[in-house]
Structure formats: structure tokens, C-alpha cells
Amino acid sequence: KDYVISKTLKDLEENLGSAFYRIHKSFLVNVSHIKEYSKEGGSFIVLKNGKKLTVSHRRKDKFAKEFLKTL
């Protein structure tokens, strides 16, 4: 589902806590919905619903450390 809200992703990121992670300036994802993470051919994640999202260049190392901790 799509939702329209009048808050920035930064505001949402601060309010939602550690269950969500900012992987890109345009993407805030629920960590429990991540199926896989790959650095091959650029950094990206695949969600359980099959969507493929890019992890930004500046956030990929920190995300990899945090994501691997949850496994």
C-alpha cells in the first residue's frame, strides 16, 4: 500500500526507531522485510515482496554492519 503523509523521511526515521533503516535518501525500509543484501553490481537489498532497492554509496558500509548483526 502507498500512504501519503506530511512528514519528512528524517522525521519518520527518528520516530519509528530501530525497526526501520534509512538505506538511501529516498528509502526507509522495515528491516524485518529484507530478504537479502548484496554488494555485487552495486549495493542493493531485495525485499520479501521481490522489490529491489539501491543502498546509497555513503550508507552501504554502516548498513552492512547493522544488517549482518540482525542475522
Torsion from C-alpha of 13, 19, 20, 21, nearest 10 degrees: 100
pLDDT, tens digit (0-9, with 9 covering 90-100), for 6-62: 999 999 999 998 889 999 999 999 999 999 988 888 899 999 999 999 999 999 988
Judged by DSSP in three states, 35 sits in strand
Q: How far is CA 39 from CA 10, 19, 35, in A?
A: 25, 22, 14
Report how far residue 21's alpha carbon sits from residue 40's, in angstroms, rounded to the nearest whole number: 21
Let me know the angle formed at the C-alpha of 17 by 31 and 32, rounded to the nearest 5 degrees: 15
